[in-house]
A = this chain, B = another copy of it.
Amino acid sequence: MTDMSLIKTLAQSTPSKIVLLVLDGLGGLPDPATGKTELETARTPNLDQLAASGVCGLSVPVGAGITPGSAPGHTALFGYDPLQVSIGRGVLEAVGIDFPIEPGDVLSRGNFCTVDAAGNVTDRRAGRITTELNASLCPQLEMTIEDARVLTAPVKEHRLVVAFRGPGLSPEVTESDPQHTGVSPAPVTALVPPAGKMARIANEFAARAGQRLAGKHPANMVLLRGFSRKPDLASMQEIYRLKPAAIATYPMYRGLARLVGMDILTTGQTLDDEIQTLRQHFAAYDFFFVHVKKLDAAGEDGDFARKVHGLEEIDRAIPGIVDLKPDVIVVTGDHSTPAVMGGHSWHPVPTLLHGRFCRPDRVTEFDEAACLQGGLGIFPATDIMPLAMANALKLNKYGA
C-alpha cells in the first residue's frame, strides 16, 4: 500500500470534489445456470459508461484469500491499513448509534436473549424483540459495579450497546455469548492478567442482568461480545486535508465514517434519499462517502436475482451523481458478497475510477472479468484514496 504518512505530507486542500460510492458486497460469482456473475447479468448502462470513460481494476480489501468484515473492508477503502486498525464489534455498534464514548470506555455489543429455567440459552436473539421493547429494558440494566459505571443504549431489535466506564478496565476478555443454544452463557475471562477486573465486572453485570430481567421473557438475559475500545485514528482531515462527509442508511457505516472524522449527513432510508442528500450538501464538502447496503443484503440472503435487481436500481441512480460533475467518482465495494456463497468472500472487488485525468483502458463494461483487463490491475483497496486524491489533483509531487 502507498504509505499513509507520505500521503499526509503531500495532500493539499483544493476545491475539487471526490465521490466514493461504496456498493457494499459488490463483487460476485457466476450463477451456475448461466455462468454469469451478478454484474455480468445486470443491465447497467450508466456504470458501463463510467467504466468505459474511466479506469477500472479489482481491489483487494485486506489480502489474498482474506474475507473481510465490514470494518476492515471500510478502513481499507478510507486508506487505513486494515491490519493495523482494529475496530471491535462493541465500538462499531456504539459509534453507529452516536453513543457518547469517553476515553477509556470498554464497549461491548449486547444481545437480549432467552434463557430457560436451568439458565441455558434457548434463543440468542430473544425472538428479535422490538426496538421499542429493547429501549424500555435498557435503562433497567444501568448500574454501578465496584467503581465502574455500566451504561446501556438500544440499537435495533435485540441488539444493545453495553459500555463499561471506570478506571483500569481492559477489553482483552472473552465473550459471554456461547454462539450456540442449549448451553448457559459463558463466563467472561481475562485474556491477559490486567483484564481480571473487567472480567469480574462483566460477570457481575451478567448476574445482575439475569436477576433484573427475570420475568421479562423472552428478553430475560443479555449476552456480551466484541469487547473493544475506540481506536485512536488520525482523521481524514488530518491525513488528506479533506472536508469529508458520509451518507449512509445503516448506522454501522455512519459509525465507521465518524471514526475517521467524517461529518455524518442526515439522510433517509432509500438510495434516492441518499442521492438527494448528496445533491443538497454537494457545495459544502469536498469528499463524500456514499454507502449503499442493498447488494450486500441480497448477497447474504443468497438472492442472486435481488442482487441483480439492486445493481440495476443503483445504475439508474448514477446520473444523479454524474450530473453534479464531481472531479472524481470512484465506484467500488468493501468486499465481495457472491449470492451463490450467501456471505462475504475474499474475491477482489470490481472498482472504477472516473475523472478528467484518468488514463483510459479498454474496459467498456463494469464487471469482474472486464475489470481484470483494466488499468488499475489487481490492487490493494488502500490505494483507492491515494488514487482518488491524485486524480482530484490533491496530491503534490514527491521529492525534488
Q: A64-B379, A372-B377 are in contact. List 16 more A-B contacts (CB 8 A).
A: A1-B63, A1-B64, A3-B83, A6-B83, A65-B383, A65-B386, A65-B388, A65-B391, A67-B396, A68-B399, A69-B397, A70-B399, A71-B400, A226-B400, A343-B397, A346-B390
| A318 contacts B by Cβ under 8 Å | no
Residue of B whose beta carbon sits closest to that of A93: B400
Q: Number of contacting residues on A, CB 8 A?
A: 67
A69–B10 CA distance with the chains assembled, in angstroms: 12
Contact A397 B2 (CB under 8 A): no
Residues of B within 8 A of A373 (CB): 372-373
Q: List residues of A (291-322) whose CB comes within 8 Å of B's CBs.
A: none
B67 touches A397 (CB 8 A): yes
Are A63 and B359 interface neighbours, CB within 8 A?
no
Is A10's CB under 8 angstroms from B368's CB? no
Q: A84-92, A180-188, A191-199: which one contacts chain B?
A: A84-92
Pair A369/B379 contact, Cβ less than 8 Å: no
Contact with A65, one of B71, B82, B375, B395 (Cβ below 8 angstroms): B395
| Residues from chain B with Cβ under 8 Å of A87 in the complex | 399-400
Of the candidates B30, B369, B399, which one forms a contact with A69 in the assembled complex, judged by CB atoms under 8 Å apart? B399
Q: Is the CB of A390 within 8 A of B69?
A: no
A86 partner residues in chain B, CB cutoff 8 A:
399
User: Chain A interface (Cβ within 8 Å of chain B)?
Assistant: 1-3, 6-7, 10, 27, 29-30, 35, 37, 62-73, 82-83, 86-89, 92, 226, 338, 341, 343-347, 357, 359-362, 368-369, 372-379, 383, 385-391, 395-400
Known: A82-B399, A226-B400. A66 touches B386 (CB 8 A): yes
Residues of B close to A374: CB separation below 8 A: 372
Q: Is the CB of A69 within 8 A of B400?
A: yes
Asked if B395 contacts A66 (CB within 8 A), the reply is yes
On whether the beta carbons of A383 and B92 are closer than 8 Å, the reply is no
Known: A6-B66, A64-B383. Is A72-B399 also a contact (CB below 8 A)? Answer: yes
B69 pairs with A3, CB closer than 8 A: no
Report B-chain residues with C-beta under 8 Å of the C-beta of A35.
Answer: 360
Nearest B residue to A394 via CB reads B65
